[in-house]
Structure 1
Amino acid sequence: MYFDAVILAGGRSSRLGGSPKAELIYEGETLLHRSIAAARGARRIVVVGPEAHDLPPGVLSCREDPPFAGPAAAIAAGLALLESPARPGDDAYVLVLACDMPRVADAVHALLEALHGGDGVMAVSGDGRRQPLAGFYRTAVLERAVEEAAARNALNHGSVFALLARLDVQAVTVPAGSTDDVDTWDDAAALGVDASNHPG
């Protein structure tokens, strides 16, 4: 199974007082590096967000335009950097990951095991909450969805669920806690994420 990875690391982190989520530490690693590790096996990995100076060799980086235009625009930017438009019959996928889920490697493993063709798979927590920023999507179909959204001027600040609306995506229940994300300092504390950068 061939796949690339687009990791989203460009949010404002407004509920964290502007402290970048990507730089928070969990079990000795930044959340960004944990996300990159979770994408192990990808042919190419693109990090979309502010320039990072300590990316592993071979990991690409770019920024959505304009900055802070939201995750749909970031997905589009990451796909554009991969520079190899997929053909409709290509058996290639792209893993889309937000960088704020410290235990997401377990979700990625479950998603890969469940991926057997179709337009893709999306993580769902045990309580039924869908997480579109932890999913594998067929590259050709996602590229087409991005093109259509761009034609409607619906990428900037657009909904990821809207971007994926026409994809036939299978919901996959992933291990408990694997898609828990860090939006607030309380979330960080609950997940055991280092809160030493907490401004308070």
Structure 2
Amino acid sequence: MTRDTPSSQVEVYGRSVQALVDAMEFLTLKAQRILASHGIKSLEPEKWYPMRGVLDSFDDILKQVGPHTTRAIGLAIPRNAVFPAGIDSFESALLALDQAYRLNHRGSGDIGSYRYQPTGERTGLMVCDNPYPCEFDQGIILALYERFKPRGSFVLHLAHDTSECRARGAITCGYQLKW
């Protein structure tokens, strides 16, 4: 990844980190061991944890368990993380995602962002330039769709532009969304 790693001063809210353990439901002990190996020994939802340890835990999960689990962690984020009030639609959730991201991180340093741009009545582009894995971001987007499924929509088509991908050294990942 070409993005600078976030400052050691950046922390992640425990409720967000709890999504990692919740998503690894059948591998809870493994999740706890991975977190502990990166300095997060006992997870408390109302505490804050070093972002570097969280990111290193994600790397281990991706290597040891795989991308499906990383996506499952993203799917668990809307159930665990703090989101701003007033979200009542899929599009408002996408527009509020960056604000939610910032509510769940604190400290000084560049943590990247989530930028949503509507491109049509039921289409849009989500650009992610944060340090989390692609599958994690995809899981969050899918979870927001399921939670705020638009009337008359049956499926979300999420197309990841892999030519510009953080996993391949790019600074951003882009997702074309159609529902």
TM over 0.5: no
- TM-score between the two structures when normalised by the length of structure 1: 0.31
Higher strand share: 1
Higher helix share: 2
- TM-score between the two structures when normalised by the length of structure 2: 0.33
